[in-house]
Structure 1
């Protein structure tokens, strides 16, 4: 820094202000300093600067399932929101969703020097009181029933599932079958509960539940059972990828969508509009989830008020070509 100051003909303090992006430096002086930095090959030492300030401008993300479309879109949204705030993102995948796995991840993130943490949980850990996170760590949890102990951000799973069922009932279907996600998934269980409650509130039969693992292959396997049931005219699927597998199973068995069977998915992935037929689905605002996660972490880092408890991001029904009134014989 002293060499840069000497070459540019300014003080070391001015070099520091330019390298840190502080205002109050004349443009001509700033350009002189930048030219000197380039000539000397000077780069600010971000590690030393972080130690001096006590902040690293980095948010850590603990994530259990890298193959889940919803998790990856949430991760992308968190990273984008963090970047807009001038923060980098450090990802730490956890292969074993256990108490030791989570607490070990916190230890490793501490060694990697992060200012706060976003946890994309998906599985039932915090709500079972099996994991105790460091009380002073700025933490926001996504997709978990952590109650009032932590700042939680989640999509309004129940409202979305209810909208899917009510849409199908409103078209005249007698009841709605459901292909759910894995039982250990918090989001999947929220959607199951809302599906069942919506049918019961309407006085309709609650059919047997089918489960998948979020993949198109599991949706296809469940779809083969649905395709063999001539009485089924409507299906709510817990995500769009499993809905894709269901569409294939129905097509292979000569069951037309939506003429014979209506299908609603969940997520509104970019490819949903290109399914055959285009998929009616529940839209999740992943960008807003990411923004609220980063906002929650930064509020804690800056010692602002950060509400504990759950913040729900609204969902929306997107009607496309995969839903219609049931065939006349089923009405």
Structure 2
């Protein structure tokens, strides 16, 4: 290639034909590499990728969509409240999708009202998405997705419904409550998540099931909103009226707020009351005392959702890692102890 043919010398961006000349292949071969075709010899694909890197070539997504009649766009439907788990899963989805040559378009629900859900899905469909991933949807979302019978594959990331990327939230909750019972606690209160969240419902069911299995009377669960502020306000109120020795919170942030309330009234964790959370957010190990909680493999769940969606699209990628088989695990720290006598 002469100097006048080099994109930098002419002030223009490198094209697919520039890549083809440097790699010594046809531009159709370059196109196949860009579109992750499996019908190429590895050494040919490696030469093309080397030329792409050398020229710093960036494929034109719009041109690719026109040429292939495909958008290579995945829609993500998120909840109106973004928790640590939801954010981590969306990041994992984006990373796995990008590695497979796809882009994301994300829409968060304004409310769980059916009209808002349908409008959000319609907004994503208007962008010619090739598949949809619904991350941690509220209970109303799943039946609407089934009702609409969308013309693209749908992958839900939740503890129930049509998902193959699910967590057994009830089992995780039972492990948390069982831990408290094995320490000797019998008066255990549950601060649950919002009523319309699938995960909150399953964690509450796990609490009730484990209490029943141990012949212990459950306290009526308190419905929260996932925030530390709710955990704090609920704790200030409950600690004046409830005679409990342990609390299982539906997530770590509500557990954090509850622990603040315990300290605010002059009591301590775990000497006066034990606390267990759920999710194992990064801050949990650094609270005082460090929080006992249920760890989830959010990154694995997100990447598995993309792998499942790609399989449905006929583009299975064996290099996409799966979630750990044991992706809910009780992490015991210093916020739990036997009840004081």
Q: Does 1:115 align with 2:135?
A: no
1:225-263 residue CA offsets vs partner (Å, 9 max, x unmatched): 232247311110000000110010000111210111000
User: Cα offset for 1:124?
Assistant: 1.3
CA-based RMSD of the aligned residues comes to 3.3
1:168-217 residue CA offsets vs partner (Å, 9 max, x unmatched): 00001123111111111111111111101111110112113222110001
Residue of 87, 96, 99 corresponding to 1:72: 87
Q: Single out whichever of 168-177 and 6-15 deviates more from structure 2.
A: 6-15
1:259-278 residue CA offsets vs partner (Å, 9 max, x unmatched): 11000000000000011100
Q: Single out whichever of 223-232 and 279-288 deviates more from structure 2.
A: 223-232
Per chain length, whose mean CA-contact separation is higher, i.e. which structure has more relative contact order (CA < 8 Å, sep 6+)? 1
Q: State the secondary structure of the residue aligned to 1:153.
A: coil
Structure 1 unaligned blocks of 5 or more: 305-311
Q: Does 1:279 align with 2:294?
A: no
Q: Does 1:322 align with 2:321?
A: no
Aligned residue in 1 for 2:151: 136
TM-score (norm 1): 0.83
- Structure 1's 168 and 218: CA in aligned 2 closer, same or farther, altered over 3 A? same
| Alignment map for 1:1-331 (pairs within 5 Å) | 5=17, 14-18=26-30, 20-21=33-34, 25=44, 44-126=59-141, 128=143, 132-143=147-158, 145-146=160-161, 150-229=162-241, 231-302=243-314, 314-328=327-341
The count of aligned residue pairs is 315
User: Cα offset for 1:100?
Assistant: 2.6
Equivalent residues of 1:144, 1:152 under 8 A apart:
no
User: Cα offset for 1:127?
Assistant: 5.0
User: Cα offset for 1:83?
Assistant: 2.5
Quick check: which one's strand share is greater? 1
- Structure 1's 3 and 49: CA in aligned 2 closer, same or farther, altered over 3 A? closer
Q: State the secondary structure of the residue aligned to 2:66.
A: helix
Structure 1 distance, partners of 2:227, 2:111, is: 19
Structure 2 unaligned blocks of 5 or more: 1-12, 35-39, 317-324
Structure 1 distance, partners of 2:292, 2:328, is: 13
1:28-72 residue CA offsets vs partner (Å, 9 max, x unmatched): 89877887x67xxx7543222223323333211011224322221
Structure 2 distance, partners of 1:258, 1:83, is: 44
Equivalent residues of 1:151, 1:296 under 8 A apart:
no
Structure 1 distance, partners of 2:164, 2:211, is: 28
Structure 1 distance, partners of 2:113, 2:291, is: 35
